[in-house]
Structure 1
Amino acid sequence: MKNAHQLKNADLFTLNVFLAVATHRSFRVASIELDVTPSAISHSVKSLEQRLGVRLFNRTTRSVSLTDAGGRLAEKLRPAISSIADAMRAVDDLRDIPCGNVRINASEGAIRMIMRPVLARFLREYPQVHLDIVTDGKLSDIVAGGFDAGIRLAEAVPRDMIAVRVSDTVRFAAVASPAYFAERGRPTVPQDLYRHDCIRFRFESGAIYRWEFERQGIAETINVNGPLTLTDQPLMVDAAIDGIGIAFVPDHLVLDALRDGRLDRVLTDWCPVQPGLCLYYPSHRHVSTGLRVLIDTLRNQPTSIRVD
């Protein structure tokens, strides 16, 4: 007797559609990821539900959530679809020229610092590789999200991942406009910040970042106050240039403004140094030729650290 759930033509696409919707909890986002119309996504999900005879998603005008059946199906499908993708990548590796899609998840700061300097050259050298880069301020699960790799600070990389260092150490900077310091004075120790207007950073989780300082083994954590809270570090830099207050950001974002005098730096000897950025990927997943040449490119750029 034939298996009632034997795979037929186009079933693999339908299952990929289901997983995309399950991951993003959004038909619209799934359609963007798969580069098809939202109606095609809806039709595929509806056809799969009809074929299986169960509802896979609870849908309202505001939200999409998995039913119990949908959750179980997603849990079983993810490793299977991942294995199929790995098998296809292994065949692609037999090609002489790297090709295929490489999906990267990273913060906006990491993209500006690590990816932007090499993008044009990389795409010229490997025209058959397509980079799909998603900027994300939260620590997403790259496996569940269908990403080939992520880029984060070394300390934030999950332990079960393979990490490749792709940047020098990252130093933070407390900065404001010269006009602001002329009016309000310059803090000389972290506690002085309580008397200043500070531009705060909010994580996507909703938590407010507490500024962390260290000098000669003494650590200080300051829960600053100020008139402005943002979720975008480049906007924090712009706000500091406009004289709104003091911003605390990775110094690569403010180098130009420091050079040309739009910003001034304080508490330099208190600003901590972070281990730097790593590109990371699952230890169990096959590394495609596209991802491999991207790693080589990032490690060999002038500002990267070679890690053997």
Structure 2
Amino acid sequence: MNRPSLNDLTAFMAVATHRNFRRAADSLGTAPSTLSHAMRALEERLGVRLLNRTTRSVAPTEAGMQLLAQLQPVLASLDEALNGVAEFRGAVAGTVRINAPRVAASLLVRDIVPMVAERFPEVVVDIVVEGQLIDIVASGFDAGVRLAGSIPRDMIAVPIGQPVLFVCVAAPGYLDRFGTPETPDDLARHRCIGHRMPSGKLYRWEFERAGQELVVDAGGSLILDDEELMVDAAVAGLGIAYVAGPAAEAALRDGRLRQLLAAWTPAPEAVALYYPGHRAVPPALRAFLDCVKAARGRSV
């Protein structure tokens, strides 16, 4: 059998992982058509179909799934070996791929990335904004950022910045027109801006006071799936929004929004960067982690 090249196997793993030729091609820096031809040539070389293709999707066959499962640890070990050699060059270099929701990505760009650029100029930080919790290993990421409570237990988590408060906010003009809610129950009489989660479900607003927890199904005429848009809608007077504090920070500071139901604000939630604990940490990721820890120490 004509043995496939490392590039062929890497390309197959990208397609089988992303299940989309365009996204796989983007991750490899090539064209989808080139990748499609390469996969057909690989299948012909091996004499077995590895991928089922339709006009809208691509998925591994049973043989493809078996090959993918066996390739992942092999290529991971190869990456570790190459990373180990790279450390002898002296300067840390490489790419760190990070998956994070929009608000967390903003925190990284503001607090961490400038430090990485200054200390490790040869490290490339590749941040993909993703609201849904994904398998970062299967999707080819070095690390992810999420609320600490939603991070899988087999991951190593490193806190980022200060814990995040979730706040209720509205524009002064809206409050002048419709009044200010005094308790979470009052929200039933207000226009609330709904938050559509990546799963498709509507987020239920959570409140807490003196040990009493309360969950509200906030309803209204507007539903959004992006916190920055929710803040913009609240500033425009379209209703009350419930968002992570950093998303509304600027608008609260300059008076475009006011915080509501402060006495019912739930305990803050820690945000953390997480990465697999079962494999060696690449030098570029280690450099990024050093900056995360340094920034946290500076903010305490």
TM range (shorter): over 0.9
Q: Runs of 5+ in structure 1 lacking a partner?
A: none
TM-score normalised by structure 1 residue count: 0.93
For the residues of structure 2 that align with 1:92 and 1:152, how far apart are their CA atoms?
30
Mapping of 1:275-286 within 5 angstroms?
275-286=269-280
Asked whether 1:257 is paired with 2:251, we answer: yes
Match of 1:132 among 106, 126, 133: 126
Contact 2:161–2:295 (8 Å) recurs in 1? no
Structure 1 position 185, deviation (Å): 1.0
Is 1:86 the counterpart of 2:80 in the alignment?
A: yes
Equivalent of 1:289, from 283, 288, 292? 283
Counterparts of 1:208 and 1:71, CA distance in 2? 34
Cα distance in 1 for residues equivalent to 2:118 and 2:34: 33
The 4+ residue runs of structure 1 with deviation greater than 3 A are: 302-306
**Aligned: 1:300 with 2:276:** no
> What amino acid is aligned across from residue 230 of structure 1 in structure 2?
L
CA offset at residue 179 of structure 1?
0.8
* Matches of 1:102 and 1:251, distance apart in 2: 27
Q: How many pairs does the alignment contain? A: 300
Alignment of 1:24-35 (within 5 A): 24-35=18-29
Change (3 A) 1:228 1:241: same
Match of 2:192 among 194, 198, 212: 198
Q: Counterpart amino acid of 1:273? A: A
- Aligned match for 2:148, one of 151, 154, 161: 154
Counterpart CA distance in 1 for 2:55 and 2:297 is 47
Pairing of 1:1-308 with structure 2 (within 5 A): 4=1, 6=3, 11-301=5-295
CA distance in 1, matches of 2:100, 2:297: 18
Unaligned runs of 5+ in 2: none
Amino acid of the structure 2 residue aligned with 1:12: L
Query: 1:303 Cα deviation (Å)?
Result: 7.4
Provide closer, same or farther for how the CA distance between residues 34 and 190 of structure 1 changes in structure 2, counting only shifts above 3 A.
Answer: same
Give deviations 1:84-114, integer Å, cap 9, x for gaps.
1111112122221110111111111111123
TM-score (norm 2): 0.95
Do the aligned partners of 1:164 and 1:280 also contact (CA within 8 Å) in 2?
yes
| 1:70 match: secondary structure | helix
Alignment root-mean-square deviation, CA: 1.6
**Per-residue Cα deviation, 1:134-157 (whole angstroms, up to 9, x for no partner):** 111111111111111111111111
Separation in 2, partners of 1:280, 1:193:
36
- Which SS does the other structure have where 1:93 is aligned? helix
Higher helix share: 2
- The answer to whether the 8 A contact 1:152-1:278 is kept is yes
Q: Compared with structure 1, are the counterparts of its residues 193 and 12 closer, same or farther at alpha carbon in structure 2 (3 Å cutoff)?
A: same
TM superposition shift of 1:116: 2.9
Q: Offset at 1:287?
A: 0.9
Structure 1 residues 4-32: Cα deviation after superposition (integer angstroms, max 9, x where no partner):
3645xxx1111111111111110000111
Q: CA deviation at 1:81?
A: 1.3
Query: Could you say if the C-alpha distance between residues 230 and 157 of structure 1 is closer, same or farther in structure 2, counting changes exceeding 3 Å?
Result: same
